Structure 1
Amino acid sequence: MTGEFFQIALIGALSALLIAAAITDLRSRIISNRLNLAVAALAPLWWLACGLEPWPGMAVQLLVGAIVFTLFAALFAAGMMGGGDVKLLGALALWFPWQAVLSLIVLMAMLGGLVTIVTVIHHRMSKKPGQPEIPYGVAISISALWLLGERYLNHFA
């Protein structure tokens, strides 16, 4: 009972952080380092709450997080993603098994396309100068919230 309560509390905290990330990215196109650090810092508590063993469980989670961060940092270097988005993805990769991380990335890409289309249409209709900045944190957050709901909250139902 206590373990399940702690898991639900951690899911609630992560969900709140994801909602905050989506809102701040939508408003200012910034996802703060503090928010990303909080997401990453809560992951080891999640591992403990889920009974993940240090080897290979926690080591694999760290490896997945490093791989995701590295891959998306390359997209940042190419000017295709924002730094806050990359850090958020790397931090989120610490929370999910690698198979779920792949699902997160696919869902994020699809939602990111929708967010991009809506942003470009809004940018053109409001006749703003320059290129629109895409709030990709919205797609990342919605994708992660979807996975949390599907993967973990349905487990308790």
Structure 2
Amino acid sequence: MLHALQIALLLIFPVLVTVGALRDLTSFIIPNWISLALIAGFAPAALAAGLGPAELGMHAGLGAAGLVLGMGMFAAGWIGGGDAKLFAAAALWLGWPACASFAAFTGLAGGGLALGLLALRSAWVRPYIMNGPAWFGRLTAPGENVPYGVAIAVGALAAFPGGDLMRAVSQVSEAAFSGR
């Protein structure tokens, strides 16, 4: 029963970062409720996974550092405010050293996203994709913003299996199935 609860709580993270990416992709807005739900869902997931006070403090510190970094990127005009909040909420969930992987994967995904959007927004490709949905037309419009929440979600999902919460739950699962 505890294992099912742990898995259900762990699903909060991939579901919400995916919703954040899809909302950013289609509207260029990541609603505050997504980041707030990630923050609220972290405590029960961490407690169910058995994280101790030191680990919880490390996660909180990484979330705060992610917020400061995100605010700096927002102030520089590199990302939007919703992106900064999603980045911080994801850092809270991932812990160390998964945050290093998260940053690297996010940077790589951001580069791929930028290249893909440059191609879609080019004068050669754009005429062929003009008849899509309105959100796609806006996404492919030259000079439009970049939905960086997509890159953040890709980075977060790629780093999540190496995070503290996944490790803790897998250790509990291994112990339960091996009879320890």
TM-score (norm 2): 0.78
Q: How does 1:110-129 map to 2 (within 5 A)?
A: 110-124=108-122, 125-126=125-126
For residue 19 of structure 1, what is the amino acid of its counterpart? T
**Residue equivalent to 1:146:** 158
Q: Is the 8 A contact 2:105 2:159 kept in 1?
A: no
Q: What CA distance in whole angstroms lies between the structure 1 residues aligned with 2:114 and 2:45? A: 32
Letter in 2 for 1:126: R
Q: 1:39 to 1:96 in 2, by over 3 A?
A: same
Contact persistence 2:9–2:41 (CA under 8 A): yes
Aligned residue for 1:49? Answer: 48
Q: How many residues in Structure 1 have an aligned counterpart in Structure 2?
A: 155
Any idea what the Cα deviations from partners look like across 1:17-76, whole Å, max 9, x if unmatched? 12211111110111110111001111111210111122x221221111101110121110
| 8 Å contact kept, 1:11–1:148 | no
In structure 2, the CA distance between the partners of 1:14 and 1:29, relative to structure 1 (3 Å rule), is same
Range that drifts further, 4-13 or 20-29: 4-13
Deviates more, 1:134-143 or 1:32-41: 134-143
Unaligned runs of 5+ in 2: 128-139, 175-180
Q: 1:88 to 1:129 in 2, by over 3 A?
A: closer
The alpha-carbon deviation at position 135 of structure 1 amounts to: 1.2
- Rg bigger for which structure? 2
User: What SS does the aligned partner of 1:81 have?
Assistant: coil
Residue of structure 2 aligned with 1:97, choices 95, 98, 122: 95
Structure 1 residue 126: Cα displacement: 2.2
**CA apart distance, 1:148:** 2.7
Q: For residues 160 and 24 of structure 2, what CA distance do their matches in structure 1 show? A: 20
Cα-Cα RMSD: 2.1
Q: Distance in 2 between matches of 1:145 and 1:53?
A: 23
Match of 1:32 in 2: 31
1:70 aligns to what? 68
* Equivalent-residue separation in structure 2 for 1:129 and 1:66 (angstroms): 34
Is this contact kept in 2: 1:123–1:132, CA < 8 A? no
* Equivalent residues of 2:74, 2:81 under 8 A apart: yes
Does 2:135 align with 1:135? no
* Cα displacement (A) at 1:11: 2.1
TM-score, reference length from structure 1: 0.88
Distance 1:46 1:120 in 2: 39
Structure 1 residue 99: deviation in Å?
Answer: 0.8
Identity %: 32
* Residue 106 in structure 1 maps to residue 104 in structure 2: yes
